[in-house]
A and B are shown apart, each in its own frame.
Chain A
Amino acid sequence: MDTKFTLTSKYKYISGALILIGVAAFVYGFITNPGRSWANLLLNNYYFLSLAIGASFFIGIQYITQSGWSTMFKRVPEAMTSYIPFAAVFMLLIFFGMQALYHWSDPGAAAHDELIAHKSPYLNVPFFFIRIVLFFGLWILMSRFLRKLSLKEDLEGGLRYFEKSEYYYKVYIFILAITFSLATFDWIMSIDVHWYSTLFALKDFVAAFFHAAAIITLIILLLNDRGYFKDLNKSHLLDFSRYIFMLCIIWGYFWFAEFMLIWYANIPEETMYIAQRWEDGWIYLFYGNIFINWFIPFLFLMSRDIDRSKLGLKIISIILIFGYWIDLYIQIFPGTVGEFSIGFIEIGAFLGFGGLFALLTGIALSRAALIPKNHPYLEESLYHHA
């Protein structure tokens, strides 16, 4: 059981090359079109940060419900959380791009705009960054602490660490519920400062959890292809696909609930948001979003032949990678860049951040035993049978 993930030099070179592409894209972007580059930075940083948050929520759920089946794979979502400190750095860098991203950060904006003036006690630049520091402080603290507990359990064993982890995951989920909701309000919803939706935080939280589950599945399947996780069986696959299936329905439900209420109430401040996304160019992505993120997983994961096949799950996870990007693109770009454009900056920036995320996850995976030892539910997970 003493398997360890070794980081091959090929893995390092490929992720390094992706990071270089990203750097090149940002250098090119900041010279030619700074506004668009800031939007890309925010999008990609939020994308991978929310995957990390979703991953830690995923382990939290496993602990709280005392689920045995997923114990074997616990190190993968744990490794994904190692991106959080880097996300903090990028998020603080947004300070230099505030004017390009957030209309409310303009000092003159509040003077002529009653609504921005009304929101300014909460939405102002100093408090915005105090919140960023607070959120990231809590997330880094909690994820580091829980990772440490998990590693100590490997060495010492016993039920103590399991019970402690379970308790602190409960605390962490409470923290996430509040901080991540406020974070989505701050970073994404405030781009369209005149618009508001109370469902927004929940929808984005579910999206983070949903796509994190897909990425966890994809990483595990890729590791399995390379000879790790030999005990992966059809029951595990079925459980992963049930997660993706269930979350795609919840995500679609929230997406529709938000849209439906805005459509039905027909209040100009709210419909503006949708109307802007129904213009030429955006509208394909607007409907493509619900089609890719809800319809495809919903339709295909119903089938018995696909929901426990490695290839089927892999294809759906890869589709969902693009789906999440589209979901965030349609949320961030109309309010910041304003015109529909996908070019080298977008692709390069995504590849760069993806490379960084892959490298960090790989390093974190290689630093500890891939399959945890001494976890009380480990045996149940190894011989999991649904």
Chain B
Amino acid sequence: MTNKYIIGVFDDEETLLDAVRKVKEKDIDIRDVYTPYPSETLLEILKIKSYFTYYAFLYGFGGALALLAFMYYAAVIDWPMNFGGKPSEAFPSFIIVTIVLTIFLITVLSLFTFSVRTDIYPGRKAIMPDPRSTDDKFVMVVAKDQIRNMEEEYHQMLKDSGASEVYEKEMELKIKP
């Protein structure tokens, strides 16, 4: 199902943040904002709380425990071996493997989480209101039915706050941030 959206393109972060603040003040629901790099302030203004860090912590914590348990099972319970009289429960030597694999697990599982959350998979065509947001432009997307009565006013407002382009586009956006 396609919808009509109004897309504002900005040249730098500061003007985008100003515009987002102004739009928020008018109680207009912002559909999404696309930036070339992550912006913490933007999340604060949009009042979006990211749970990504909690997931990363969980992956790290669970991963470390699972790895230690696996190494304990392999080296102590299932197949103890004697290396020069050393105890088979060689805890300090487990640590290095745990560090390295924990980092690996966090990275890979975070990537999967990100992929699920943003609906991006290998082979899927990325849904992007304006592809230049991967380059150097900042893009704000607002659904057209949000601003039914004051379309012109809205266009003017974006222009005033420094948007380099404002245009309308019909497309399908699935995820709501």
- Please give the distance in Å from B87's CB to the nearest CB on chain A: 11
A256/B93 in contact, CB under 8 A: no
List chain A residues, Cβ under 8 A from B40. Answer: 386
- Complex interface residues of chain B between 59 and 109 (CB less than 8 A to chain A): 86, 92-93, 95-96
Please name the residue on chain A nearest to B93 by beta carbon: A264
CA distance A385 to B42 in the complex (A): 13
Task: List B19-53 residues whose CB lies under 8 Å from chain A.
Answer: 40-41, 53
Chain A contacts with B in 295-350, Cβ cutoff 8 A: 302, 304
Interface residue? A14 (CB, 8 A): no
Across the interface, which residues of A come within 8 angstroms of B112, CB to CB?
none
Measured between beta carbons, the chain B residues less than 8 angstroms from A223 are none
- Residue interface mask A246-267, B partner, CB < 8 A = 1: 0000000000100110011010
- Cβ of A304 to closest chain B Cβ, rounded Å: 7
Q: Whole-angstrom distance between the alpha carbons of A256 and B93 in the complex? A: 10
Q: Which of A256, A302, A385 contacts B57 (CB 8 A)?
A: A302
CA distance A290 to B90 in the complex (A): 19
Report whether A260 and B93 are in contact in the complex, using a CB–CB cutoff of 8 Å.
yes
Residues of A within 8 A of B41 (CB): 385
Q: Which of A260, A302, A304, A385 is in CB contact (< 8 Å) with B95?
A: A260
Task: Tell me, in angstroms, the Cα distance from A118 to B92 when the chains sit together.
Answer: 33
- From B85, which residue of chain A is reached at the shortest CB distance? A266
For residues 360 through 386 of chain A, which have their beta carbon under 8 Å from a beta carbon of chain B? Answer: 385-386
- Asked whether, in the complex, the Cβ of B92 is within 8 Å of the Cβ of A304, the reply is no
Whether the pair B92, A264 counts as a contact (CB closer than 8 A) is: yes
A259 to B93, CA, bound (A): 11
A263 cross-chain contacts in B, Cβ below 8 A: 92
B96 touches A260 (CB 8 A): yes
Contacts of A385 in B (CB 8 A): 41
- A260 touching B57 by the CB < 8 A rule? no
Q: How many A-B residue pairs have CB under 8 A?
A: 15
Q: What 0/1 pattern do residues 156 to 169 of A give for CB contact below 8 A with B?
A: 00000000000000
Binary flags per residue of A213-230, CB closer than 8 Å to B gives 1, else 0: 000000000000000000
B28 to chain A, nearest CB (A): 26
Q: How far is the CA of A263 from the CA of B57 in the complex (A)?
A: 30
Cβ of B93 and Cβ of A304 under 8 Å apart?
no
Q: Which residues 105-146 of B have a CB within 8 angstroms of A? A: none
Give the CA-CA distance A321 to B165 in the complex, in Å. Answer: 55
Residues A256 and B53 in contact, CB atoms below 8 Å apart: no
Q: State in angstroms the CA–CA spacing of A217 and B120 once bound together.
A: 42
- In Å, the complex CA distance between A31 and B54 comes to 57
B-chain residues with CB within 8 Å of residue A260 when the two chains form the complex: 92-93, 95-96
Taking the closest CB of chain B, its distance from the CB of A380, in whole angstroms, is 15
| Cβ contacts under 8 Å, B96 to chain A | 260
A259 touching B57, Cβ below 8 Å: no
Within 8 A of B (CB), among A217-245: none
Least CB separation from B96: chain A residue: A260
Residues on B with C-beta less than 8 A from A266 are 86
Residues on B with C-beta less than 8 A from A259 are 92
Of B86, B92, B93, chain A has the most CB atoms within 10 Å of the CB of: B92
Q: Please, which residues of chain A bring their CB within 8 A of the CB of B53?
A: 304
Residues of A within 8 A of B95 (CB): 256, 260
- Measured CB to CB, the closest approach of chain A to B42, in angstroms, equals 13
In the complex, chain A residues whose CB is within 8 Å of the CB of B92: 256, 259-260, 263-264
Q: Roughly how many angstroms separate A259 CA and B40 CA in the complex, as a whole number?
A: 40
Q: How far is the CA of A260 from the CA of B96 in the complex (A)?
A: 9
Bound-state Cα–Cα, A264 to B53, Å: 35
Give B16 Cβ to nearest chain A Cβ, in Å: 15
Smallest beta-carbon distance B35→chain A, Å:
15
Question: Which B residue's beta carbon lies closest to that of A385?
Answer: B41
Closest beta carbon of chain B to A356's beta carbon, Å: 40
Residue ID in chain A nearest B60 by CB atoms: A302
Docked complex Cα distance between A302 and B61 (Å): 12
How distant is the Cα of A266 from the Cα of B40 in the complex, in angstroms?
49
Q: How far is the CA of A259 from the CA of B91 in the complex (A)?
A: 12
Write the nearest CB–CB distance from A314 to chain B, whole angstroms.
23
* Distance A160 CA – B93 CA, assembled complex (angstroms): 52
- Measured in the bound complex, the distance between the Cα atoms of B53 and A385 in whole Å is 21
CB distance from B67 to the nearest CB of A (A): 16
Q: Which residue of B lies closest to A259 (CB)?
A: B92
10 other A-B residue contacts (CB within 8 Å) besides A260-B93, A260-B96, A263-B92: A256-B92, A256-B95, A259-B92, A260-B92, A260-B95, A264-B92, A264-B93, A266-B86, A304-B53, A386-B40
A–B complex contacts, Cβ < 8 Å, 15 sampled: A256-B92, A256-B95, A259-B92, A260-B92, A260-B93, A260-B95, A260-B96, A263-B92, A264-B92, A264-B93, A266-B86, A302-B57, A304-B53, A385-B41, A386-B40
Residues in chain A within 8 A of chain B (CB atoms):
256, 259-260, 263-264, 266, 302, 304, 385-386
Task: Please give the residue numbers on chain B whose beta carbons come within 8 Å of chain A beta carbons, in ascending order.
Answer: 40-41, 53, 57, 86, 92-93, 95-96
